[in-house]
Structure 1
Amino acid sequence: MKLIKEFDEVDDFVVKATNKPKGILIQILIIWVIGVYSGNGQKSPYPDSPVIKGISLKWSTHQRGALGSDNFQLTWADDNNLYGAWGDGGGFVGNSNKACRVPLGVARIEGMGRNWKGYDVWGDPKCSENGATFNGKSWGTISVDGVLYMWVVSDHKYGHLKFVNLARSFDYGASWEKSEWKFEITDRLSIPTFINFGKDNSGSKDDFVYSYFIHVEDTTNTKFEMHEKGKLYLARANKDSLWEGRKAFKWFKNMNMGKPQWGTVWEKKPVFEDPEGVGWCLSAFYNLGLKRYILSAEHTETHQGIIGIFDAPEPWGPWTTVKYWTEEEYFGKSRPGDNLDWARNVFFIAFNNKWLSKNGKKFTLNFTGGGRGNDNDSFNTLKGSFVVD
Structure 2
Amino acid sequence: MWAPADTVVRKAAGSDNLPVTWADDDAMYITWGDGWGFEPKVQKKLSMGFARIIGEPSNFKGINIRSAAEQYGGGRSGRKGWGLISVEGVLYLWMGHADRHGGQSQLAWSVDHARTWTFADWKFSQFGLMGFVNFGKDNDQARDDYVYSYSHDGPLADTPADGFILMRVQKNRVNERESWKFFERIDQTGQPVWTSDLKHRGVVFQHTDECLRSAMTYNAPLRRYLWWQQIPAPKGSLDRGDTRFEGGFGVYDAPEPWGPWSTAFYTEKWDIGPGEHGDFPAKWMSEDGRELYLVFSGGDSFSVRKATIVLKRDD
Shorter-chain TM-score above 0.5: yes
1:194 paired with 2:140, answer no
Residue 143 of structure 1: aligned partner: 86
CA separation in 2, counterparts of 1:139 and 1:83? 13
CA separation in 1, counterparts of 2:64 and 2:92? 17
CA separation in 2, counterparts of 1:318 and 1:113? 31
CA separation in 1, counterparts of 2:294 and 2:182? 29
Deviation at 1:267, TM superposition (A): 1.1
1:317 paired with 2:259, answer yes
1:79 paired with 2:30, answer no
Which of 289, 307, 311 is residue 249 of structure 2 equivalent to? 307
1:208 paired with 2:161, answer no
Residue 285 of structure 1: aligned partner: 217
1:110 paired with 2:54, answer yes
CA separation in 2, counterparts of 1:380 and 1:95? 17
CA separation in 2, counterparts of 1:93 and 1:56? 27
Which of 268, 271, 281 is residue 332 of structure 1 equivalent to? 271
Residue 297 of structure 1: aligned partner: 229
CA separation in 1, counterparts of 2:91 and 2:258? 24
Residue 238 of structure 1: aligned partner: 170
Cα separation, partners in 2 of 1:348 and 1:92, compared to 1, 3 Å: same
1:231 maps to a residue whose letter is G
Cα separation, partners in 2 of 1:240 and 1:360, compared to 1, 3 Å: same
Q: Is the 8 A contact 1:308 1:323 kept in 2?
A: yes
CA separation in 2, counterparts of 1:226 and 1:297? 14
Residue 22 of structure 1: aligned partner: none
Give the SS at the match of 1:116.
Answer: strand
2:275 maps to a residue whose letter is V
CA separation in 1, counterparts of 2:139 and 2:274? 31
1:152-171 matches, cutoff 5 A: 152-154=95-97, 158-161=100-103, 163-171=104-112
Superposition TM-score, scaled by structure 2 size: 0.88
Q: Is the 8 A contact 2:231 2:247 kept in 1?
A: no
CA separation in 2, counterparts of 1:386 and 1:59? 17
CA separation in 1, counterparts of 2:278 and 2:200? 30
Which of 276, 279, 288 is residue 350 of structure 1 equivalent to? 279
CA separation in 2, counterparts of 1:352 and 1:366? 7
Residue 75 of structure 2: aligned partner: none
Q: Is the 8 A contact 2:46 2:71 kept in 1?
A: no
Q: Is the 8 A contact 1:76 1:83 kept in 2?
A: yes
CA separation in 2, counterparts of 1:160 and 1:297? 19
Deviation at 1:139, TM superposition (A): 1.8
CA separation in 2, counterparts of 1:379 and 1:142? 18
Q: Is the 8 A contact 2:9 2:303 kept in 1?
A: yes
CA separation in 2, counterparts of 1:226 and 1:159? 13
1:35-74 matches, cutoff 5 A: 55-74=1-20
CA separation in 2, counterparts of 1:309 and 1:387? 13
Instruction: Tell me the percent identity.
Output: 35
CA separation in 2, counterparts of 1:134 and 1:90? 12
Residue 181 of structure 2: aligned partner: 250
1:331 maps to a residue whose letter is W
1:101 paired with 2:45, answer yes
- Cα offsets for 1:22-68 (capped at 9, x unmatched): xxxxxxxxxxxxxxxxxxxxxxxxxxxxxxxxx33343421111111
1:382 paired with 2:313, answer no
Number of residue equivalences? 294
Give the SS at the match of 2:297.
Answer: strand
CA separation in 2, counterparts of 1:177 and 1:276? 34
Taking only aligned residues, the RMSD between alpha carbons, in angstroms, comes to: 1.8
Cα separation, partners in 2 of 1:106 and 1:81, compared to 1, 3 Å: same
**Higher CA-based Rg:** 1
**Unaligned segments of structure 1, at least 5 residues:** 1-54, 123-129, 334-343, 370-375
